[in-house]
Amino acid sequence: MSSSALGSEPQHTTPPPDHPAPHHPRMALAARIALLVLLVAELMDILDQSVVLTALPAIQVSTGAGPAAVQWLTTGYSLPVAVGLITGGRLGDLHGRRRVLLIGTVVFTAASLLCGLATGPGVLIGARVLQGVGVALMIPQVLATLHVTFEGQNRSKAFGLYGAVLSLANVLGPVLGGLLTEADLFGLSWRPTFLINVPVGLAVLLLGRRFIPESTVRKADRLDVTGVLLSALAIVLIVFPLTEGHLHHWPLWCFALLAAGLLALGAFLRHQRGKQDDAPLVRLSLFRGGQFAGGTAAQLVHGLLCGMFFLTWSLYLQRGLGMSPFHAALAFVLLSLGELAGATIAARSAGRFARRLPQAGTLIALGATAAYGLQADAVQADLGLVAMTAPVVLIGFGLGMVSGPLADMSLARVPHEDAGSASGLFNTAMHLGIALGTALTALVFFAATDGSPDAGPNREAFLTVLWWVGGLLALMWALMFRLPGRVDSRAD
């Protein structure tokens, strides 16, 4: 983190619990350390979503895990995250965002140690579920604390760096998992991919307790337990069949669960309407302003296109173009490096261009996607890694310009007392979008290939996916018109 970007003027005052830090043109040293700790907490979450992927073969051999158990090593982590984000965010509003962040870090760190010590798939899956619970407590506090702690350009820089960390994690995750497993440190094989979280988690606890300012609602209400149960039930009933349906060829029970999930969602919304004056889990007034509603909808679409693109792209590279897993991984690194560059540009711009910056990124990604589709259609099986570098890097560059500014502007007008709840909703939109996008691949990609491993059908199916991705990018660009068009229209 460079001093030229964030500054280093000292600050000796501590803000009241529910007020942001005083505005300074340059960020204080203590605030920079707090920002670093928050970003490391976010980095741990994103890394643990992907670091396990390259370690899965070694885990399967070591623990004797079957195909279903391997699937649950990822689902067991992501499902409690999706279910708990809204509740975790509200707990931070009510009981202190730093406190809940540190509690989540304790849970996550202990679960990581348990993962590293597990000898069988049952214990490992249980520990992964516990990791997901810890993340659901941690992650809403990151965005919420950034929102209530920083102001003006400092907030835009903080959210820009948040986007850069997301991009960096996408690069580091698979690479770190592969390196740690291959290194076989102390004969531990895959276990360091989890054990590395222990010292990092302890550092977050020690530094977070010292430097992250506490923030909470001035008068804390009781938690809406009925709302918690209804929201959790709705998300489980929606996310679980979307995640598992394509693996089981969409049996009737998947559609039954989805229908029940929509009914539970309706019951949750009805309950929340009746609770708006009595400590609701979610204040529906957040959606009355177009800024949060439009930004959250754009985040949902962002997750949807990511869920569709990344899964099918991996299959296209290996089945359609005959690449080895190593060369396919290099293609992902190219895209992630482009994403990191775009996020760095967004961080350095410090919000000067309002919605024009993420909209420009969306258009860059859209144009690069179209160019990639034309190239893939023209070259067919002869398309190599070097030839696709330009469009792939530009797709990543465009997407990298979106994440940080989108989060910043979506939450900018959210009252501080609802920052955790809003952050939980915003993060949940991404998880739901990814689950929905993954489910749509069954209709858009797998139905077109009919399960064939042949190169031709996989190439044609991927071209169809690119049409969908282009349409979703255009929709995301349109939804961003609900974000502020002028810098001075955002509340600081």
State how far the Cα of 115 lies from the Cα of 183, in Å rounded to an integer.
18
State how far the Cα of 227 lies from the Cα of 28, in Å rounded to an integer.
39
Question: Residue 54 has what pLDDT?
Answer: 66
State how far the Cα of 380 lies from the Cα of 484, in Å rounded to an integer.
42
For the segment 38-56, the average pLDDT, to the nearest whole number, is 80
Write out pLDDT tens, residues 287-334: 877 888 999 999 999 988 988 888 788 778 878 888 876 777 788 888
CA dist 12 → 22, 211, 236, 446 (Å): 11, 12, 45, 59
State how far the Cα of 147 lies from the Cα of 155, in Å rounded to an integer.
7
Question: Residue 492 has what pLDDT?
Answer: 39
Cβ-in-10-Å burial (0-12, 13-18, 19+) of 27 comes to buried
Least confident range of 10-24, 36-50, 146-160, 328-342: 10-24
Instruction: Name the band, by pLDDT with cuts 50, 70 and 90, for residue 99.
Output: very high
State how far the Cα of 227 lies from the Cα of 483, in Å rounded to an integer.
29
Query: 189: Cβ–Cβ under 8 A, 6 or more apart, which residues?
Result: 58, 62, 181
Looking at per-residue confidence, does 163 or 15 come out higher?
Answer: 163
Write out pLDDT tens, residues 121-146: 889 999 999 999 999 999 889 888 88
Q: For tokens 């290996």, what's the residue?
A: 318
AA letter at 47: L
State how far the Cα of 369 lies from the Cα of 400, in Å rounded to an integer.
14
State how far the Cα of 28 lies from the Cα of 417, in Å rounded to an integer.
24
Least confident range of 74-78, 447-451, 464-468: 447-451
pLDDT of 219 above 70? no
Give the number of residues written for the chain: 492
Looking at per-residue confidence, does 131 or 1 come out higher?
Answer: 131
Contact at 8 Å (CB) between 305 and 472?
Answer: yes
Specify the DSSP class assigned to residue 465: H
**Terminal Cα-to-Cα distance of the chain (whole angstroms):** 23
Contact at 8 Å (CB) between 347 and 152?
Answer: no
Question: Residue 171 has what pLDDT?
Answer: 66
Statement: the pTM of the whole predicted model exceeds 0.85: no
pLDDT of 24 above 50? no
Looking at per-residue confidence, does 241 or 489 come out higher?
Answer: 241
Helices (H), 380-454: 389-400, 403-411, 419-441, 447-449
Tokens at residue 152, please?
A: 């003006």
Contact at 8 Å (CB) between 97 and 139?
Answer: no
Percent of the chain with pLDDT over 70: 88
Tokens at residue 255, please?
A: 């559609």
Query: 37: Cβ–Cβ under 8 A, 6 or more apart, which residues?
Result: 203, 204, 207, 208, 211, 212
Q: Which helix (H) or strand (E) holds 83?
A: helix 67-95
